[in-house]
């Protein structure tokens, strides 16, 4: 008696999810857990970086188009400055996890160079613990604020009108991914590059 994935509409979804999880378990055994996690995080972080880049490119295109349209007196697009303001915030927050993962953030390397290798590694651990604690606390606070604004039904009233929590979700995602990055740096020896 075999399992038929065509028994109902809900069974194929369960079947494929189980198959995916089973395939993932096999991959972990073949490739090694750390390698799979590193590859998955690298892929996810590249997606965040790409989304950020697309957002900043969209800002450049929309602002240039607005300037041309206004100077040619073709039309006035009232929502452009507001759109670019929101997209700049979203793109910045989406790019932050990628930047952290790529070690592209500003690093003060005077102290690690002054210490021995062992103490420099300890300093890195302290920095990762601090980063994990800070992003964890901010993530929790962002969850509370998003829940409050959602529960109250707060709206942003400008040219564009939408629920306020829409603006807070990218912050939550950024903090969650940064927390995960710091956690993996601490938990897995071979994770950090």
- The reported pLDDT for the residue numbered 34 is 63
Q: Mind listing the pLDDT tens digit for each residue in 139-183?
A: 999 999 999 999 998 888 887 788 888 899 999 999 999 999 999
Token pair, residue 91, equals: 């793109």
- The reported pLDDT for the residue numbered 8 is 40
The phi, psi pair for 190, rounded to 5°, reads -85, 5
Q: How confident is the model at residue 33 (pLDDT cuts 50, 70, 90)?
A: low
Query: Which uninterrupted H or E stretch holds 155?
Result: strand 155-157
Q: How confident is the model at residue 71 (pLDDT cuts 50, 70, 90)?
A: confident
What's the CA gap between 111 and 97, in Å, rounded?
Answer: 24
Alpha-helical (H) ranges within the chain are: 10-31, 33-71, 80-101, 110-114, 117-152, 165-187
- The reported pLDDT for the residue numbered 59 is 94
Query: For residue 111, what are the contacts with CB-CB under 8 A and spacing of at least 6?
Result: 120, 123
- The reported pLDDT for the residue numbered 81 is 87
- The reported pLDDT for the residue numbered 7 is 42
- The reported pLDDT for the residue numbered 40 is 82
- The reported pLDDT for the residue numbered 141 is 96
Cα→Cα distances 129→55, 134, 176, Å: 31, 9, 15
Cα dihedral across residues 83, 88, 93, 97: positive or negative: positive
Q: Mind listing the pLDDT tens digit for each residue in 93-137?
A: 999 999 998 888 777 778 778 888 888 888 888 989 999 999 999
**Which of 21-35, 47-61, 159-173 comes out lowest in average pLDDT?**
21-35
What's the CA gap between 133 and 98, in Å, rounded?
Answer: 19
- The reported pLDDT for the residue numbered 9 is 39
Q: Considering only residues 46 and 109, tell me which one the structure prediction assigns the higher pLDDT.
A: 46
Mapping DSSP to helix (H, G, I), strand (E, B) and coil, where does residue 142 land? helix
């Amino acid at each position: 008696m075999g399992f038929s994935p065509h028994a109902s509409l809900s069974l194929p979804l369960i079947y494929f999810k189980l198959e995916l999880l089973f395939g993932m378990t096999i991959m972990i055994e073949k490739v090694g857990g750390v390698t799979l996690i590193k590859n998955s995080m690298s892929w996810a972080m590249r997606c965040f970086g790409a989304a950020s880049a697309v957002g900043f490119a969209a800002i450049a295109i929309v602002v240039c188009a607005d300037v041309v349209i206004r100077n040619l007196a073709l039309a006035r697009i009232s929502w452009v400055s507001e759109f670019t303001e929101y997209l700049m915030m979203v793109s910045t927050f989406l790019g932050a996890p990628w930047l952290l993962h790529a070690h592209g953030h500003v690093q003060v390397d005077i102290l690690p160079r002054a210490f021995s290798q062992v103490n420099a590694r300890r300093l890195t651990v302290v920095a990762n613990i601090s980063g994990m604690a800070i992003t964890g606390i901010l993530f929790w606070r962002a969850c509370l604020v998003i829940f409050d604004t959602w529960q109250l039904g707060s709206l942003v009233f400008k040219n564009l009108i939408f629920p306020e929590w829409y603006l807070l979700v990218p912050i939550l995602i950024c903090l969650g991914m940064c927390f995960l990055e710091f956690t993996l740096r601490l938990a897995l020896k071979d994770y950090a590059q």
